[in-house]
Amino acid sequence: MKHENARFTTFSKGTKRVSSILGPVLLGSVLVLLTVLLLLALPAGDINAQSEITAHVVIQFDDGTLWVRTIQSTDPISGAHALAKTNLEFEQMGELVCSIEGIGCPASDCFCPDNLWTQSLWDGSGWQQPWPFPNLQDGDVWSFAYNAGWPPDLAPATPLVAVADGLAWLATQQSADDGGYGTANESVESLFAVAANGYAASEWQREPDSPSLGGHVLSNGATFANSTAAASGKLAAGLVAGASCWPLNATRPMSYYQASTGAYSSTNDSGAAPHAWGMLGTIALSDTVPNDAIQYLKDMQQANGGWEWGIGWGTDTNATAMAIQALIVSGEPTSSGVIQDALDYLQSTQNTTDAGFPYNPDGGWPGAENSDTNSTAYAVQAIVAAGEDPTAAPWVMNNTNPISFLLSMQLGDGSFEWRPGLGASQIATQQAIPALLGRPIPLEVGELDRCWVQWLPVILEQ
């Protein structure tokens, strides 16, 4: 009906001169006749046709966290009203947004001092604030940024749209049978990707009646956590980010800690990356990393500033990135020599041609010196954890940067390749998403209750 009315309004404006000549009596007949002729001339179904638009809504919260949502509509819709299609909690007053996810003001007092939400439209190169707010067009990206100033201190839209497309592809890879993504490790990797964009793992499902990702991880979490300190730490960081609980029989990261050595390993052979995961999981669960564990990781730093994934393997970017994140979140100042040497090592490994990062620039296996998505994603998370901008100096190489490299690795279906020409990679897609959102590990920190509710039906049956 909206299109019908729009056509009639346009036509009526064009008949003002006819009205003055024929008079009010003939005008009605002329309108009826011409309207009928117009309707007959239109293709079938055109009157109510409204091409569907796909747009993106970006939200930057008060702590800088970014979420992006894809919305579709067949009706004209403004950015403010597009929030209703995101399933986020919000309050608005007309075109003004008062609060999102409880941050801001109630609609009854939309102009209170706490309402610092600004709206803007991505024009392809920057954020603009059109007024009055227009209806969204196909491909538009509309943002809501809290206390971001003007122009808003907001990330470019391109990486955020890439995140939405990557998650859309990742959703198609989820098992409808058990809610997982293959191995327990791969499922936890998906947990990071999903949680980084503000989705609840308990609601991440292939179909409405399919098992959820959260349920799958909880069901398999104990076996995973009981395997190694790294697995326990990774599970802890993933579950805290996913706002879940701790499986009853799962071993916590601190249970792997050996006070006699400072290592998160009972065999005293913990490499840097597994040890770092133990530290990251400890912090994620709001536990304190022992000073000896911090020193243990520092002592494993090699002369070139990097760390080895496993003892004797040679330094690599992945272990170094994990160590940087673990040390910083454990309280190591970013200005310390340990962190600065580590960042210098990362910079020395960066490929000048594409600004991406390899696993190991010194080789060790064929192609190890070539840039890949996973290594670049880990490096980006470490750079962000250190408070630096991966799109600015000194990380710009040959007029490009690590974020641009990640974007170049995305395929048309939304997935990411590990390396050019190798096709869609689930693990590359999983790890690119948190990096593009600027989210280092741990994504969140908080205590987890034991998952008693899982066993309550069993207890009641006894």
Amino acid (1-letter code) at residue 71: I
Give CATH for domain 53-154: 2.170.130.30
Overall size of the chain counted in residues: 462
pLDDT by position in tens, the chain (length 462): 332 232 222 222 232 222 333 333 333 333 333 333 333 333 443 434 458 999 999 999 999 999 999 999 999 999 989 999 999 999 999 889 999 999 999 999 999 999 999 999 999 999 998 988 999 999 999 999 999 888 788 999 999 999 999 999 999 999 999 999 999 999 999 999 999 999 999 999 999 999 999 999 999 999 999 999 999 999 999 999 987 899 989 999 999 999 999 999 866 557 899 999 999 999 999 999 999 999 999 999 999 999 999 888 899 999 999 999 999 999 999 999 999 999 999 999 999 999 999 999 887 778 888 999 999 999 999 999 999 999 999 999 999 999 999 999 999 999 999 999 999 999 999 999 999 999 999 999 999 998 975 544 433 433
Task: Let me know: does 293 contact 260? Beta carbons within 8 Å.
Answer: no
What is the Cα–Cα distance from 35 to 29, expressed in whole angstroms?
Answer: 10
First to last CA, the chain: 61
Q: What single-letter DSSP state applies at residue 362?
A: T
Say what the pLDDT of residue 29 is.
Answer: 38
Please report, for the chain, the start and end positions of each structural domain, with discontinuous segments joined by +: 2-41, 53-154, 159-436
Please give the C-alpha separations between residue 256 and each of 275, 278, 378, in angstroms, as whole numbers. 10, 8, 24
What is the Cα–Cα distance from 374 to 371, expressed in whole angstroms?
Answer: 9
Say what the pLDDT of residue 321 is.
Answer: 98
Neighbours of 408 (CB within 10 A): 16
> Options 3.40.930.10, 1.10.3720.10, 3.20.20.140, 1.50.10.20; which CATH number does 159-436 get?
1.50.10.20
CA 121 to chain centre: 20
Task: Let me know: does 92 contact 105? Beta carbons within 8 Å.
Answer: no
Q: Strand 53-60 vs strand 141-146: parallel, antiparallel, or unpaired?
A: parallel
Q: Which of 407, 353, 357 is nearest to 380 (CA)?
A: 357
Q: Strand 141-146 vs strand 307-308: parallel, antiparallel, or unpaired?
A: unpaired
